[in-house]
Structure 1
């Protein structure tokens, strides 16, 4: 099964905008209530049998079941009958979907599952909820510059691209951003698409430190500094983002002026993110024009965001480019995409295959001496270019990515 996600900007009327904000607020209430219920149950089980807290105490019966998704979804169905606020987030007819609040509980349940499996902390309470999901679509919901949603009815959209042919709309998510409301539609098709075959020309790509990526052809591609270049720099040398953040610090929290500045900052961040994503797509197409096969290192970019190059990696969005955008463009254009083992790529000579470890003093001083000097064959090359060239002759059979 193939799934595609298309994003369109919504143009709701006043009634629809009010209903969207109402649904978001009710979903936030349900999320926080369910989270509070789970945390109280877990806190009550931490109390010792022979002692009680002097300040507060969670008194929950010992035989009370853990409030998992099934338990909370059942109680939510019962509460809908008597609570008019919960009942407002429902379908107007039995043929329409009425599972928005259940999807909110599923989101919380996934957060608790990740907390246990990945060792994360407790989910946080939400001051604002930015999105909600319609898990099933209505029949004949696709229209020309409009889309039919449960409870909201026909809603106008800015149809910046045509709907994919041969696909059916299976799910929709409404997202509230600083610049307005957006509709993310998931299209699916039961058709199976064969994997892209291996071509003749190959290109190795290495995520660099001084450059954004380095190619095996010797090209070093530097990333624009999006936080600075996406906004005009003022006469005093500071970007508008810095000036707005300094002004925000002096405002009273939750005041009217504070909220206005927050909205301006959010719009600026959204503009920067759009510029970064646009540059990533253009670069991915340029790389696909050069070759038939693309090989990249299998790197954990989350560790980069916490390491010595965290500022550069977060500003450039290297993880988003390597793991999301480049594989998609390769699939779309019929190019073979694969990830290779990252070990020894910076130590192995791409010409003779000799592995020569770099000294720690050389690795730390990454601003100087970024050259690969092979003592075996005397081959010299930029270290990032040498690392990008290494996987192609020796590791084409490594694990497939994308």
Structure 2
């Protein structure tokens, strides 16, 4: 029996790219805020009450452990008044909280490290500025010369690095949208994402 595998390359428009990057930024903020809450809870309970230093220990008002149900409910409430959260995809944000919950469960059951904060897309901005700088330099070189060819090669490598990084971000967003939901809903969301019609 012969099994065939097909690979499809989706090239988003500028508007679609902006929507995807916005969703990634919102999900990153949700992850970082939820992780900061959990980290505060752990730090505030890092020592026994009779052994804590009032100078160096976290002194915060008591609050329940911020697990997934609690943080999910808080996110739903926050979206009502926060325009930034409203701009993100609801399923992707909820899936971000589920992944954080899974990360803490794995930390406890598998002995993995403490979850880390997510960084933004500074690499892409830096790479774009570098490409523009090199392209300006390229105009001052004789076309076909050794220096011109070297600059062309550097620009091509940067373009490739940016494309690979974008591909990685899009892949992660697709998993956020599709993981953990029913197959029918997953296909609908993935289809909308591919067409730039991600459900809000």
TM-score (norm 2): 0.60
Q: CA deviation at 1:60?
A: 3.0
Tell me which residue corresponds to 1:148: 192
Distance 2:187 2:34 in 1: 35
Q: Is the 1:134–1:150 Cα contact (8 Å) retained in structure 2?
A: no
Paired residues, number: 138
The structure carrying a bigger helix percent of its residues is 2
Pairing 1:289-328 to 2, within 5 Å after superposition: none
Q: CA deviation at 1:141?
A: 5.0
Distance 1:115 1:6 in 2: 36
Kindly tell me: are residues 32 and 14 of structure 1, through their superposed partners in 2, closer, same or farther at Cα, counting changes over 3 Å?
same
Tell me which residue corresponds to 1:89: 88
Q: Is the 2:10–2:194 Cα contact (8 Å) retained in structure 1?
A: no
Tell me which residue corresponds to 1:52: 53
Q: Which of structure 1's runs of 4+ aligned residues deviate more than 6 A?
A: none
Q: Is the 1:69–1:105 Cα contact (8 Å) retained in structure 2?
A: yes
Tell me which residue corresponds to 2:79: 80
Pairing 1:276-291 to 2, within 5 Å after superposition: none
Deviation readout 1:246-277 (Å, 9 max, x if unpaired): xxxxxxxxxxxxxxxxxxxxxxxxxxxxxxxx
Tell me which residue corresponds to 1:16: 16
Kindly tell me: are residues 101 and 139 of structure 1, through their superposed partners in 2, closer, same or farther at Cα, counting changes over 3 Å?
closer
> Which SS does the other structure have where 1:9 is aligned?
coil
Q: Does 1:120 align with 2:112?
A: yes
Q: CA deviation at 1:7?
A: 5.4
Q: CA deviation at 1:100?
A: 1.1
Distance 1:127 1:139 in 2: 26
Q: CA deviation at 1:151?
A: 8.8
Pairing 1:1-400 to 2, within 5 Å after superposition: 8-50=8-50, 51-55=52-56, 57-61=58-62, 64-90=63-89, 98-128=90-120, 130=169, 131-132=172-173, 133-135=176-178, 136=181, 147-149=191-193, 152-153=196-197
Distance 1:79 1:6 in 2: 41
Runs of 5+ unmatched residues, structure 1: 91-97, 155-402
Q: Is the 1:30–1:104 Cα contact (8 Å) retained in structure 2?
A: yes
Tell me which residue corresponds to 2:132: none
Distance 2:9 2:194 in 1: 18
> Which SS does the other structure have where 2:8 is aligned?
strand
Q: CA deviation at 1:9?
A: 2.4
Distance 1:21 1:78 in 2: 24
Q: CA deviation at 1:6?
A: 7.1
